Structure 1
Amino acid sequence: MYVFLYGLLLAEPLEHPKINPQYFRPALDSQHFLSVNETALGTCGSFLGKGSASQSSNPFLFVANDGNETEMLQSLDVLDLAGGFIFCRSRLGIHIPVILRATGVLPSGEELMDSGLGDILLDYKYRFSKPNDSIGIAVSLRGSAPTATGEASVGNDGSLIETELNLDTTYRNTIFALNIGHKSQSTWSDEQSYFGSAVYTRGGAALPLPYNSGIAAEIFSSFMYGASSFEQAFSGEVMLTGWKKFGLIAIQAGMGYGLGSGIGSPDLRGLFGFAWLPDLQNKDTDQDGITDSTDQCPKEAEDIDGFQDTDGCPDPTKVTVKIMANGIVNDEAQWKIGEIEGMGTKPISLSSQFTTIKASLSGFQSIKQEVYIQGGADQTIIIPLEQLQGTLQIAPINSSGNHISNATWSFVTGDTLYSTNQIASINPNDIDIRIMADGYKVATQHLTIKAN
């Protein structure tokens, strides 16, 4: 029995293995994401830099054969510093992780608190696509040396090589990015824990907001294909991030939640970063989601109206207003759309928008109506006006000045009879009426009916 227990003790790691469970690093060229790489590059011959401070909890759990878990890394605080130089279509960069604090325990109960340097990584990217292509395409090649110091599991005992395909595009006002890569690194396994080479993906969707700010959702997943079970192989993380730019300086922050149970998947992660991004090719001055390199109107925001929404320009619409009076277009009617006033049917150019039109014509009820100006195609707005009416009531009297109560009247051109008690609504016009009563001659009279 003592021999059996001694064998179990030896099966547990007696020191922290030389592996690097820290998957997160700041995406050097990205201005919309913290970890997802975009294809954009800066101006030829320019420098760029990024830094991020992250705090992750339990990124490395050791799982024994009996299912017991040991928090080999309970907490990991890292300052990632990155910089690069742009050679037009390519960029060479470097990542230097500084371990501010790493805490953990061994299965034996021995506690650890450590700090130092992580594995320094070189990062090369080449962009195949042109700035005005609808889909950005780039490849990245990264390699690190075992430069980590200290005893904590924050660096590999051998070299690491990553190859990665970067894709991104913009649809309407949203930036989508996808990274697909392979990571070749040293292998370590012990009981139910495994660490080794992996295929991975990063993806994200970013929404620019006014005032040079925005938010993004990011997801990372990794599968170490040498593991004996899915639980050992899979790790991942979802993050909600945001940014705010002040000139060439960007402030970034985010929060992550771990997925899966493989090494590298934290319980939680908090992030705060800063970036120096001079004149990236995906700069968006008017914040319409279309980068300046492809935006034909970089200082005027595109109006998303289903018509030429990718050229970056608001699409003027030729608008013709027709004011209908009694079913006929009236060229003397006056109208006002926003701050633009007009008369008749002369066309005007407007951008896509919801707006208000006011129309008026003498003798007709003025109207105020909400309209939607669609982008691109010509548009005719028809506004019918309702004519104002006058009222007529007849009070006939005899030669003595007395009211004739049994009198009736009608239009000379019609047969409908009205009593003296009735009030008739009549369109403004000149009319002739006749008045009749028993014992009296028929009388006629010419009247002018006015509105109201």
Structure 2
Amino acid sequence: MVKHFASQASRTPQSWSRRAGPLALAIALLAAPDLVAQERIEGDLAVQRFDPAPGPRNFITTRSARTDGDMAWTAGAFVHYGYRPFEIRRCPAGGCDGAAAAVQQDFRVVENLVTGDLMGSFTPLPRLQLGGRLPVTWARGHGTEATEDGGLQAVGLGDMLLEAKGRLSGDASSPIATALALYGTVPFGTLTAKDSYIGDGSPSVGVRAIVDGVAGPWAWGVNVGGAWRKAATIGDTRLGPEMRYGAAVAYSVSPVVRVIGDVFGSTNFSGSSAAHGAELDGALQYTPLGVPMAITAGLGTGVMRGIGYPHVRAFVGVTFSNEVRDRDGDGIPDALDECPNDPEDFDGFEDRDGCPDRDNDGDGIPDEADRCPNEPEDLDGFEDEDGCPDPDNDGDGIPDDLDACPNEPETVNGYRDDDGCPDTSDRDKDGIPDELDQCPDEPEDTDGFEDEDGCPDPDNDGDGIPDIQDECVDEPETFNGFEDEDGCPDEVPTR
């Protein structure tokens, strides 16, 4: 609030405004002879401080550093109302303190301020966003006349904003990102409604450093910068170049609802309280699934009551975007992402579905501990903890599903080499290892006679009669001319 403002501040808005009559001014002068007769008013200034951020991924007025997208664009509108954003406290010549406070008067230079902003942005490169905003403002109040009958009513274009924001570091999925924005205004306000506090008297330029961060459902942002604009003086307050700042925090209650808290302010480091101000705003933002639109509505109030920071702020806005939305920042558009809130892990396994695959092969061993994340462990009791299938546990070249001894390697020696079991060589397959078999190529006949030597014994008793014809295989025939063919020993009978 501007203090020590004179009663004779005979400045009224021109163009699309309603002028207070000279009679009202004369009455005011006669009614307050003890007030300072004259105060200086120089320059035009914009009372509107609410600066909704053009483009996606921002907060309310605080900018985000996220400019991801290629050839993306947004278009939208904000309507906001400020109650008593600009007031003057008129005091006797001695000041507003002590007994003089009883006769001080507060005049609402601008009591009601309604602005509709047409906004848009374009992202020609992933790291560069161009934005703009064109306001149309209706202002009503007492003006600077010493009367409460109303001296200001004006409608006109506000100052057009042009902004270029470049991302310096980070991307859509980075926990922290930074950017730098340059901006300027075109003074349409003074052209369409001069002296109505709708626009500055000249172009302005500014710079804004931006840092933001994301952590799960939380997001935050901080803006710090400065603006140069032509100085304007009202009473004892001089407005001109100033520092501007903002900070915001947001929490995603669900994929479609976000709660935002945003504070912004300005100062020119002068001694006048009217040159310092800050505003606190809160909003809900609704982003329907499958619809490229964000709706934001909220309320706010000036917490430091400088010029342009109202008692009450109300606002609502809608933004349409053709930006490819990617809530989890994994580079897969939400429309194609089966898990839009969980980023893809990009490990070469089903990376197009947008879902993280903690265990690609589904073997129960997490990929980070799995030496073969895309091949399931065969879980056969052999090295099952490494996550790799072991098709030939014993490494003998015989697959486990054909190996009778999967954990014991075959001894490849020409003997039963296809069963996968270790064994010794037995070429004649008589059960006697070759190293013990005196006849390794002739199978033992296993008839109870010298079976351990591995040699067949076709005539155990050596009587020349093959065992297969010998009725007494272990007793030699006595060749005496009597039944010599039966292979049994016998005697010639006597007569």
* One-letter amino acid matched to 1:28: P
TM-score w.r.t. length of structure 1: 0.60
| Partner Cα separation in structure 1 for residue 283 and residue 247 of structure 2 | 13
**Residues 302 and 314 in structure 1, CA contact (< 8 A), matched pair in contact too:** no
Query: Which position in structure 2 is the counterpart of 1:172?
Result: 216
Query: Which position in structure 1 is the counterpart of 2:108?
Result: 71
Tell me whether 1:256 sits opposite 2:306 in the alignment. Answer: no
Q: 1:86 to 1:107 in 2, by over 3 A?
A: same
Tell me whether 1:291 sits opposite 2:316 in the alignment. Answer: no
| Partner Cα separation in structure 1 for residue 215 and residue 204 of structure 2 | 35
Query: Which position in structure 2 is the counterpart of 1:133?
Result: 174
* One-letter amino acid matched to 2:157: L
Tell me whether 1:145 sits opposite 2:186 in the alignment. Answer: yes
Query: Which position in structure 2 is the counterpart of 1:83?
Result: 120
Q: Which runs of 5+ in 1 are unaligned?
A: 304-310, 321-345, 348-452
Q: Give, in angstroms, the shift of residue 10 of structure 1.
A: 2.2
Q: How does 1:13-32 map to 2 (within 5 A)?
A: 13=41, 18-31=44-57
Say which SS state the counterpart of residue 38 (structure 2) adopts.
helix
Count matched residues: 305
Query: Which position in structure 1 is the counterpart of 2:131?
Result: 93
Higher helix share: 2
Q: How does 1:22-421 map to 2 (within 5 A)?
A: 22-31=48-57, 33-64=59-90, 66-67=95-96, 68-88=105-125, 89-109=127-147, 110-131=150-171, 132-148=173-189, 149-150=192-193, 151-225=195-269, 227-229=270-272, 231-246=273-288, 247-279=291-323, 283-285=325-327, 290-293=328-331, 299-300=338-339, 301-302=341-342, 313=356
Say which SS state the counterpart of residue 232 (structure 1) adopts.
helix
Q: Which runs of 5+ in 2 are unaligned?
A: 1-28, 97-104, 344-353, 366-383, 386-495
Query: Residue by residue, what CA displacement relative to the aligned partner does 1:141-199 show, whole Å, maximum 9, x if unpaired?
Result: 11112211214101111111110011111123201111111011122223343322211
Larger radius of gyration: 2
Higher mean displacement: 235-244 or 211-220: 211-220
Say which SS state the counterpart of residue 19 (structure 1) adopts.
coil
Q: Give, in angstroms, the shift of residue 223 of structure 1.
A: 1.2
**Residues 64 and 193 in structure 1, CA contact (< 8 A), matched pair in contact too:** no
Query: Which position in structure 2 is the counterpart of 1:328?
Result: none
Q: Give, in angstroms, the shift of residue 241 of structure 1.
A: 0.8
**Residues 294 and 312 in structure 1, CA contact (< 8 A), matched pair in contact too:** no
Q: Percent identity?
A: 19
Q: Give, in angstroms, the shift of residue 43 of structure 1.
A: 2.5
Q: Give, in angstroms, the shift of residue 87 of structure 1.
A: 1.5
Query: Which position in structure 2 is the counterpart of 1:308?
Result: none
Query: Residue by residue, what CA displacement relative to the aligned partner does 1:364-407 show, whole Å, maximum 9, x if unpaired?
Result: xxxxxxxxxxxxxxxxxxxxxxxxxxxxxxxxxxxxxxxxxxxx
| Partner Cα separation in structure 2 for residue 262 and residue 221 of structure 1 | 9
| Partner Cα separation in structure 1 for residue 218 and residue 332 of structure 2 | 15
**Residues 63 and 193 in structure 1, CA contact (< 8 A), matched pair in contact too:** no
Say which SS state the counterpart of residue 8 (structure 1) adopts.
coil
Q: 1:284 to 1:113 in 2, by over 3 A?
A: same
Q: Give, in angstroms, the shift of residue 22 of structure 1.
A: 1.1
* One-letter amino acid matched to 1:84: S
**Residues 164 and 179 in structure 1, CA contact (< 8 A), matched pair in contact too:** yes
Higher strand share: 1
| Partner Cα separation in structure 2 for residue 195 and residue 63 of structure 1 | 17
| Partner Cα separation in structure 2 for residue 295 and residue 162 of structure 1 | 34
Q: Give, in angstroms, the shift of residue 64 of structure 1.
A: 4.0
Query: Residue by residue, what CA displacement relative to the aligned partner does 1:388-433 show, whole Å, maximum 9, x if unpaired?
Result: xxxxxxxxxxxxxxxxxxxxxxxxxxxxxxxxxxxxxxxxxxxxxx
Say which SS state the counterpart of residue 9 (structure 1) adopts.
coil
Tell me whether 1:8 sits opposite 2:36 in the alignment. Answer: yes
Q: Give, in angstroms, the shift of residue 76 of structure 1.
A: 0.2
